[in-house]
Structure 1
């Protein structure tokens, strides 16, 4: 039962929490610019994590460890979230952003082989390829290759690729240099570094005007509690428990789950192609995250 909990329920919870990030962004972005929205989100999250660290009497790393965590924060949270939010703000459909960021397992696996000397078997590479095909099928049906939602500007594409590079390299960097840090302390330091990046972007590029509607308040509450606190702590824990390429493969499940949420919240229908793609993605993830037992 304990093994089932760690191998299935915790990853499933993470995928669900992470998938709601696109929904939260869609609800919040009409009322604040991307870096401004993210800066507010980070500052509120730091209050929550600070209180949690005080209650739990968190162990703090040394200056060198804190420096590595700050780099991870800039990559995993700063570059990834900033890139995703600006790509959506610049007109790219969230599903297309999700598809581009969905390439992360392939990029992370290649980086893990190059920098961490991790071994990725042929079975796992096949799983990564199946995951990519599955995600592509889901988004192909949802948006259509010739629809207006498939069009995007070069700037939005650049932001999406920026997000992909950030989350991929950040996952590998966290596995190499920050896996031994206390989860709460490590996440607090990472968010602090990301907040600095968002503050620079907000003051340099944006007006910092915010319309505090009820929709924004509810969106912000979920982004802080569900995403920045719950999902990110689970992500750091999962990276600590498994190989970086295996953890990254979980992101293949995010677009199909997000498509299901869009159906429930916005009545976006799922056809046969999308459901087939979701099943293929799940099979791909299973090939990557499950190890073949030796004979």
Structure 2
């Protein structure tokens, strides 16, 4: 089941880059993001009122504030930079490749911030993954023309925003139902993106079927699938594994973008794909051996009050 969850997470998370590319030519990124989250937030709030009020009764104000911050970082901040980069002409594959540096940042910070054990083999796997990301980035970036150089820096801000959200969640108690967290995150993003769109005069959606196809794609695959599975895999398997899976987003998106939008896919991209697959294999194998033997296990940080790997 964990393998199936991991595969579904990779596909759904990668779909966000493809959906952003699909809607990039139809409207301003802020407009697309507003209409991605506004109807979704309404539906989630209605579902909560009809079926899920019992999950909210014990919710405390400080928990709501924490989830608002996590939502603003993991959705609003992260997606704003991704969509802006693609809107500036950066390909979906390159955007995913730049975001692929996230696991290295998390791995470097996991020890001092979360006191999680990262073994030597896992470090080798992470280094192999970084080499794959760099290789694919080099091949993709050299094939792109007409894009200002600083546009490639925009996704880095989003990557750091997602890293911050990940650490904040891992340092918090597991006292919130995942559906409650998702609802708060989406409502937060809906409010923020609507405010941005209203300030810029970009509220009205275009009369374009492709725009609404992109919105539907992003809501179903990227939000419910991508973000829902992100937190589920994070809670079940730990921060090292979920961020190792992030290495696969770059090559998967590059292949997907090449098929769907004829984005460049050459020898360097293929080499990077093999390196990323090798990285995931090394890290997963190393952690499986540690969990199955007597090696040190990750030490959970923060006031965790529940046991087990489930939410």
Relative to the length of structure 1, the TM-score reads 0.88
Post-superposition offset of 1:93: 2.9
Whole-angstrom distance in 1 between the partners of 2:142 and 2:153:
21
Q: Which residue of structure 1 aligns with residue 62 of structure 2?
A: 64
Give a deviation string over 1:140-191, Cα, whole Å, max 9, x none. Answer: 333426x526x4343x344322101111111111122264411111110011
Task: Please state if 1:204 is matched with 2:202.
Answer: no
RMSD of aligned Cα (Å): 2.2
Q: 39-48 or 159-168: which moved more? A: 39-48
Where do 5+ consecutive residues of structure 2 fail to align?
295-311
Whole-angstrom distance in 1 between the partners of 2:105 and 2:140:
24
Q: Which has the higher helix share?
A: 1
Whole-angstrom distance in 1 between the partners of 2:259 and 2:156:
29
Query: Which one of the candidate residues 254, 269, 275 is aligned to 2:249?
Result: 254
Local SS of the residue matching 1:118: coil
Whole-angstrom distance in 1 between the partners of 2:152 and 2:271:
27
Q: Which residue of structure 2 aligns with residue 225 of structure 1?
A: 220
Local SS of the residue matching 2:90: coil
Q: Which residue of structure 2 aligns with residue 148 of structure 1?
A: 145
Whether the 8 Å CA contact 2:30–2:202 is kept in 1: the answer is: no
Structure 1 runs (4+) deviating above 6 angstroms are: none
Where do 5+ consecutive residues of structure 1 fail to align?
none
Query: Which one of the candidate residues 246, 261, 264 is aligned to 2:259?
Result: 264
Post-superposition offset of 1:276: 2.4
Q: Which residue of structure 2 aligns with residue 184 of structure 1?
A: 179
Seen in structure 2, the aligned counterparts of structure 1 residues 58 and 233 have a Cα distance that, compared at 3 Å, is farther
Local SS of the residue matching 1:225: helix
Task: Please state if 1:18 is matched with 2:13.
Answer: yes
Aligned 1:18-167 pairs, distance under 5 A:
18-53=13-48, 54-55=50-51, 59-60=55-56, 61-144=59-142, 147-148=144-145, 151-154=147-150, 156-167=151-162
Paired residues, number: 287
